[in-house]
Amino acid sequence: GVTRLFDIACKKNLIELERKSQADVFVGFRTEELASQARQIAARLRGAGCCVDLYCAQASAKKQFSYAGRKNIPTLVMVMDPQAIVVRDMNTGQQVEVTTIEEACEKIGN
């Protein structure tokens, strides 16, 4: 009901949105083997009050970065391998690489 009406209003430019997603953080992963680590990060961030968009499909890192950019999600967390997690500020393009879930969450401020 309401979601459909909202989507129609957005498509007809009756409502202008700055962001296409309510998510504060996008969490993705490079390979299926890393999905559980991405889910752990998403759960921890949600527990800290962040609105998280967890990318559940298998896709290239480039495609996931692009998705987060199109949705105007301000922060991206990408699990690249078991010991490499990228935290990127999508507004400035600055990113850091950390090795643990705890470090990734600290970089986001939670």
Q: pLDDT tens digits for 14-52?
A: 766 665 678 899 999 999 999 999 999 999 999 989 999
- pLDDT of amino acid 107: 87
Q: Are strands 52-54 and 25-29 parallel, antiparallel or unpaired?
A: parallel
Hey, where are the domains in the chain?
A: 19-108
Please, what's the b/e burial string for 68-82 (b: 16 or more CB within 10 A of its CB; e: otherwise)? beebebbbbbbbeee
Q: pLDDT tens digits for 75-94?
A: 999 999 999 999 999 999 99
Longest dimension (CA), the chain: 46
Q: Decide which of 110 and 57 is more confident.
A: 57
- pLDDT of amino acid 20: 64
- pLDDT of amino acid 79: 96
19-108: what CATH class? alpha beta
- Calculate mean pLDDT across residues 49-58: 91
- DSSP tag of 57: S
Q: Decide which of 58 and 95 is more confident.
A: 95
- pLDDT of amino acid 75: 95
- pLDDT of amino acid 19: 56
